[in-house]
Structure 1
Amino acid sequence: MSSSYVLLANLRAVRCSNTTELRLLRFWEAHNVRKGGGLMSVDMLLLDEQSTLIHGPST
């Protein structure tokens, strides 16, 4: 069974069930030092096989 995937440039900001293959370049966690070090957000830099770079913020 062959699995197909979509490049980052072809993804749209809508609800979908597409699969993409990518490489995680960088991963940052932001912690709130004033409130016991709780996790505030996560940021990622992602890269696909055609060198399309995307910033993946999460709050």
Structure 2
Amino acid sequence: MRRQKRDRLDRAHANGYQAGLSGKSRDNCPYQSIEAKSEWLGGWRAAMNDRNMGLFK
């Protein structure tokens, strides 16, 4: 069970990161659960930070 939960949260983080790289708004988060939403937003913030540092165009 723990592995499935971690995989789901890892996927939410990765999806948030991809959304951030593509320039989508944080309001576009598709998740409703607090845990998944938190992971998605963490990925989104990481991508925005990477974009602002010039790692991606």
> TM exceeds 0.5?
no
Scaled to the shorter chain, the TM-score interval is under 0.3
Question: Which TM-score applies when normalising by structure 2?
Answer: 0.23
* More helix by percentage: 2
Which one has a bigger Cα radius of gyration? Answer: 1
Question: Which TM-score applies when normalising by structure 1?
Answer: 0.23
* More strand by percentage: 1
